[in-house]
Structure 1
Amino acid sequence: MVRAKIFVNKVSDMPLDYDYQYWLASMLLHRLDNAKGELADFLHNHDGYRFYTFSNLILENQRHSEYGLQFDNAHFILTSPDEEFIEGFVSGLLQKPEFSLGETSFLVESIDIQNQTKIPSKCVFKTISPIYVKTQREVEGEIKDWDLYPKDGKFYENLHNNLVSKYEEYHGRAPENDFFDITEVIHFKGRRYTIAGDHRRCSEMKFKVQGSEELLNFGYQAGFGEKNAMGFGCIEVSN
């Protein structure tokens, strides 16, 4: 399995809106459609999970303003257990390297294909896009979605169940060993994102984890938590 590291240049003076995730997800789907239309059609008509995720833009010389983010260059990570997705995204980005996120224009400078890191049964992960986990709870007599943070024990249960469910759908079988345990949250910061008008509370984290290698490697490839194809749950190995 591979990851793609996409280097981009910001080619307009407009600052980038803080809530750019939806635009980036939409742009990637358009590029996939250009390169591998059958894959994009499958995603459009498929009711199950989408087995890829991507990181936030990792910015160089980042400068904040009240209007958004200013920076020079950036990169982001694309990852999937299915190499066909990576090939499709990369091919589409190379065919049409110019894109916009809101009113901010970019140009793909280069793409680095990285070999899959072998994840051991114990390691430290750091999010490069926040993890989103939810449950349902009764609020004023109505059952509503409730976003979870790591301070809620339900966060870990649902994170584990989601990972196993994705594994089963992708592989067509249950994992031989479904052990998964976050043993320590080293760092946590709650974040609030707006995706297509919906507000989501999610978690930037650095955490120690132990579990079956097949599950940890799958999570590293496909993403942890929900809404991976919207750019949530992308992680990297940390010290």
Structure 2
Amino acid sequence: MHICFSLRPEGSMEIPLQYNHIVQAAVYRSIDADLAAFLHDQGYQSGNRRFKLFAFSRLMGKFRIKPDKGTITFADEVKLVISSPVDEFCQSIANGILTKGRLRLGTAEAEVEKLVVRQYRVEDGRAVLRILSPVVLYSTLLKPDGRKYTCYFQPGEPDYDTLLESNLRKKYEALYGQAAPEGNVKVRRLGRGDMRLVNYKNTVIKGYTGVMELSGPTELLQMAVDAGLGSKNSQGFGCVEVVER
């Protein structure tokens, strides 16, 4: 399920340019306290992997960047999309934000003007997805001296489809407690995709935006639509929407 919030800043809303952690904190503040504690401390588990099973978009609207201050300012309507396959989470975030009537992002506040709920349904083992926040896929490797380093992958590279499929399978198993359906997930980038570098709590993360066509088991594609593509979804990466045929 996708929930699109339309926000109206009070005056102008100036926040840090690297704002993922600020939106993430606002999400946790807006949901039920017990659910927030469960997601933060435990989450949904598959093997040794834990998933929050929600994703959120970049803030969308007219903005002005002040490089010298490292801030971004929104003065007009701002849209934020939050998605999850977990009904309890979707109900909690919608009720929490609507009840307060405003959303606090760092030291700034915005009035909630409306929300729109959409349930995209994947059919025929195919989905065209527009990426609303950069998709991140990576592996942690070891250097010859034993130190770890992170290798990020981009669409079209040999390991990209395998990593994306593995991630979706683990999410499915974590949510439903059973093995995911058989079948491979294939990715095809449509048009140009752009690389984005995001600084999340002093860690630089590399992701990619654009439009992608996914094919494979319907259940896994549905998980991609609702829970997000790739890794670090709850940190503001991999939120997508379906491009209607």
Structure 2 CA distance, aligned partners of 1:175 and 1:44?
25
Listed one character per residue, the Cα deviations across residues 37-95 of structure 1 (whole Å, up to 9, x for unaligned) are 22112112205111111111121x34444342434111111111111100111111122
Return the letter of the residue paired with 1:205.
G
TM-score, normalised with respect to structure 1: 0.89
Moved more, 88-97 or 68-77: 68-77
Listed one character per residue, the Cα deviations across residues 164-199 of structure 1 (whole Å, up to 9, x for unaligned) are 111111111112223210134432100010111211
Structure 2 CA distance, aligned partners of 1:104 and 1:140?
46
Q: Is the 8 A contact 2:155 2:187 kept in 1?
A: no
Listed one character per residue, the Cα deviations across residues 177-228 of structure 1 (whole Å, up to 9, x for unaligned) are 2321013443210001011121111111312221111110111011110111
Q: Secondary structure at the match of 1:229?
A: helix
2:176 equivalent in structure 1: 171
* Aligned residue runs from structure 1 range 12-51, under 5 A: 12-32=11-31, 36-46=32-42, 48-51=50-53
Return the letter of the residue paired with 1:220.
V
1:237 equivalent in structure 2: 242
Runs of 4+ residues deviating >6 angstroms? none
Q: Secondary structure at the match of 1:5?
A: strand
How high is the sequence identity, in percent, across the aligned residues?
Answer: 22
Q: Is the 8 A contact 2:102 2:110 kept in 1?
A: yes
Structure 2 CA distance, aligned partners of 1:40 and 1:69?
28
Return the letter of the residue paired with 2:78.
A
Q: Is the 8 A contact 2:155 2:189 kept in 1?
A: no
Deviation at 1:114, TM superposition (A): 2.1
1:212 equivalent in structure 2: 217
The 1:184–1:68 alpha-carbon spacing in structure 2 relative to 1, beyond 3 Å, is closer
Work out which of the residue numbers 179, 182, 187 in structure 2 matches 1:182: 187
Q: Secondary structure at the match of 2:196?
A: strand
Residue 230 of structure 2 corresponds to residue 225 of structure 1 = yes
Moved more, 8-17 or 83-92: 8-17
* Aligned residue runs from structure 1 range 129-208, under 5 A: 129-139=133-143, 141=145, 142-208=147-213
The 1:189–1:27 alpha-carbon spacing in structure 2 relative to 1, beyond 3 Å, is same
Alignment RMSD: 2.0
Q: Is the 8 A contact 1:12 1:105 kept in 2?
A: no
Structure 2 CA distance, aligned partners of 1:116 and 1:185?
20
Work out which of the residue numbers 83, 91, 95 in structure 2 matches 1:91: 95
Q: In structure 2, list runs of 5 or more residues that go unmatched.
A: 44-49
Structure 1 CA distance, aligned partners of 2:117 and 2:74?
27
Deviation at 1:151, TM superposition (A): 4.8
Q: Is the 8 A contact 1:164 1:178 kept in 2?
A: no
Structure 2 CA distance, aligned partners of 1:226 and 1:137?
16
Q: In structure 1, list runs of 5 or more residues that go unmatched.
A: none
Structure 1 CA distance, aligned partners of 2:237 and 2:29?
19
Moved more, 173-182 or 186-195: 173-182
Return the letter of the residue paired with 1:192.
L
Paired positions, count:
234
Q: Is the 8 A contact 2:7 2:111 kept in 1?
A: yes
Structure 2 CA distance, aligned partners of 1:119 and 1:191?
30
Residue 54 of structure 2 corresponds to residue 52 of structure 1 = yes
Structure 1 CA distance, aligned partners of 2:179 and 2:97?
34
Moved more, 194-203 or 169-178: 169-178
The 1:166–1:112 alpha-carbon spacing in structure 2 relative to 1, beyond 3 Å, is same
The 1:9–1:127 alpha-carbon spacing in structure 2 relative to 1, beyond 3 Å, is same
TM-score, normalised with respect to structure 2: 0.87
* Aligned residue runs from structure 1 range 94-133, under 5 A: 94-133=98-137
